[in-house]
Each structure stands twice: as C-alpha cells, then as structure tokens.
C-alpha cells in the first residue's frame, strides 16, 4: 500500500510533501490570501460558541439532558466528569458535537440513568463549568443532533486596511466560503493524519475505538479538502460542473446535475443548492462527467489512503463544497479590535470562515 510520501509525489502539489501540520495553511483561498491580520483566542472569552439544538427535551424518561456552560474545558473531558459524577459507564453519556477547548461554550449533554438515583448536578459547578439546566428526556442525545452553532469571536491587534477587511466580510456574507474541514479535525500538529498514515500502513494497528474514529474521519476530511482546494483554485467550487452531485441547502439529499443550464445556475447562485465533494469510502462515486474526472485525478493520486478507508469499512458520502454564513455582523471596538457574530450549520468550522477574512495568529490549541 503506498505511503504518504509516495502518494503525494504524484499529486499536483509542491515537489516536497507538505507536512501534515501545514495542511490547512496550504489550501487555496476563494478571494486570494487576506491582506489583513489579527490575533484570536487570546482569552477563552474571545471564542464563544452556543449550540443551536435540533430539539428540546420533553421532560420525561430515563435520560437527563444537561445544558452546560464551560470555559477552557474539552467536551470529552466534561463527558468523563459526568460519567464519574453519575456513576454510569462512559457509553451512557453523550453529546451532539465536540466544541473547542480554548473557548467559552454552551451545549447539551445527556446521561442515561436507567433506574439510578439522580445526583445533584449543581455539585459539579466550578470556575470552568456550570450546569445551567437539567431536564429529563425519553431518548439519548445522539451525535449530530443539532442545527448548528452561533459564534461570537473577538479578534485583536488588527493590522491592515479596515475598508478592505470589511469588503472581505461583505463578500463572505453574500457568497459564503469554501467548506473546508478546519485544523481541529486534524489534531495538534496534524497528529490525526500521522496516525492515519500509520494505520493505513498497518491496518491491524491497535487503537481505541474513539481514536480510530477520529483517525479515519481526519483521513477522509483531508481527501475532501484536497478536492475542494483544487476546485477553489479552478474557481468552480461555488458553481455546478456537468455530473456534479448537488446538495439541497439544509439537507443531506443530493441529485446529479446531468447538464448545467441557466435555471440550475440560478439555484446555485441563490444558495438553494450547493456542489459537493467526496467523503471517501466504499461504493461507486455518484458523480459523472467533468466532476468525475476532477475528483478521480485527486483521489487516484491518494490511492493508498482511499484503499485504507475502504478496508476500514467506511462508505461513500457527500459534503457541500460551499458554506453559507448566516447572520454575519461585525463591530469595531477601537482601532484594533473586531467582534464578529455569525451562525453556521452543524459540521462547519468557524476557522474556515476566519481564514477567508484575515490571517490569524492565536493563543491556545486547536
């Protein structure tokens, strides 16, 4: 099975393989590299995330849903604290989505008690964690059970032309951004991609269930980003190609654009539908024509990783290439401080929005 180095030499990439830790930095920009710069995450309060739930708990059942505010806490660590506090197995604790650690976040967790006495949840409160609500529900909170997230992000030490920066923001608001997987998906210094390389070179490598899942997700996210970056470079990431799989906005459903006509292009321009890219796995790709040629070129060059994902049992799926940014608003706090507010659907990355606006340096981890 080809390893990373043998695979990347075949790709339309720099002569030397790009280090995993630099993967996101090498992705193409929709409007060219930003000319303004700033600092992010100097304080956890600079990156505030609030989950938009898909449903509310109904008040009855063996599952307790907890609305928790946390500061500088990893989602998985909070789940472990809940497991210990309630005296239940970690599998009986769940959440809809992972949230950034170096941030202030609010999200739902669920704990299955199944006849056990309910503990005093407020005893968990600390300087970094507050249980704001707890309500019974008939079902477990499952991964992905959320509409999206709202963000309030403070950027400091802004340097560059403010008018050009605001024009970037207006473009992002109107046109959206490439829907890249952010660097959080790939781990600190690309650690999840290094793990994927090891796993694909040795499929029998022992890994915990959670680590294996993160590793495989990172690998196919990497492949998706490569396809999307190629389409951004070709300026066709936000339009339809013949044979494209077009996703309905707000849905996972898609259809194949056998041909591209004026009506289809109007729907794309209005963001009613979006072109998609591959989340690689077993099965035949649904795309055809020009789109199939483009994707095959990229994925054939990464044949070792594609084979590894198939061996691991993942199945084909699609993800929108374009990310719409809702409710975008901004406010200057003095000459060098900018506050952004916006909402994104589930599975989208705020850092993918920010990279189109300005160059950022940060304090804290991914």
The set of catalytic residues is 100
One DSSP character per residue, 86-139 reads HT--GGGEEES----SSSEEEEEEEEE-TTPPPP-GGGG--SSEEEEEEEEESS
For 329, what's the count of Cα atoms within 13 Å in the CB-facing half-sphere? 5
User: Tokens at residue 199, please?
Assistant: 């796993």
What separation in angstroms does the CA of 21 have from each of 2, 8, 18, 239, 276? 20, 15, 8, 30, 25
Helix residue ranges, H only, 274-346: 289-301, 303-311
- What span, in angstroms and rounded, lies between the C-alpha atoms of 320 and 253? 10
- What span, in angstroms and rounded, lies between the C-alpha atoms of 6 and 144? 35
For residue 168, give the DSSP letter.
H
Helices 303-311 and 209-233, axial angle in degrees (round to 10)? 140
Q: Strand pairing of 359-362 and 37-40? A: parallel
Phi, psi of 272 (to 5 degrees): -75, -30
Element (H, E) at 356: helix 350-357
User: Tokens at residue 320, please?
Assistant: 């929108």
Helix residue ranges, H only, 234-288: 262-269
């Amino acid at each position: 099975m080809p390893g990373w180095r043998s695979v990347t030499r075949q790709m339309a990439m720099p002569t030397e393989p790009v280090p995993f830790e630099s993967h996101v930095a090498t992705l193409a920009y929709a409007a060219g590299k930003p000319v303004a710069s700033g600092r992010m995450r100097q304080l956890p309060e600079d990156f505030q995330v609030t989950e938009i739930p898909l449903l509310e708990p109904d008040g009855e059942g063996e599952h307790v849903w907890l609305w928790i505010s946390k500061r500088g806490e990893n989602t998985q660590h909070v789940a472990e604290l809940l497991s210990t506090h309630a005296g239940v197995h970690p599998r009986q604790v769940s959440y809809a989505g992972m949230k950034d650690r170096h941030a202030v976040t609010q999200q739902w967790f669920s704990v299955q008690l199944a006849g056990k006495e309910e503990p005093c949840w407020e005893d968990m409160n600390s300087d970094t964690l507050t249980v704001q609500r707890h309500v019974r529900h008939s079902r477990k909170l499952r991964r992905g059970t959320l509409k999206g997230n709202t963000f309030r992000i403070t950027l400091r030490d802004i340097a560059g032309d403010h008018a050009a920066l605001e024009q970037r923001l207006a473009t992002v608001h109107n046109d959206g951004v490439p829907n890249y997987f952010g660097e959080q998906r790939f781990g600190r210094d690309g650690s999840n991609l290094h793990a994927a390389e090891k796993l694909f070179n040795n499929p029998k490598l022992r890994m915990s269930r959670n680590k294996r899942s993160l590793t495989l997700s990172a690998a196919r996210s990497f492949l998706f980003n490569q396809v999307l970056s190629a389409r951004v470079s070709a300026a066709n990431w936000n339009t339809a190609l013949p044979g494209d799989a077009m996703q309905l906005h707000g849905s996972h459903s898609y259809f194949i654009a056998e041909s591209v006509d004026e009506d289809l292009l109007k729907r794309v321009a209005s963001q009613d539908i979006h072109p998609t890219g591959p989340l690689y796995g077993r099965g035949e790709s649904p795309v055809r024509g020009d789109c199939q040629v483009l994707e095959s070129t990229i994925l054939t060059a990464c044949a070792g990783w594609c084979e590894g994902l198939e061996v691991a049992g993942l199945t084909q799926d699609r993800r929108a290439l374009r990310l719409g940014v809702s409710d975008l608003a901004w406010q200057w706090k003095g000459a060098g401080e900018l506050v952004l507010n916006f909402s994104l659907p589930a599975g989208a990355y705020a850092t993918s929005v920010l990279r189109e606006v300005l160059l950022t340096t940060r304090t804290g981890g991914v």
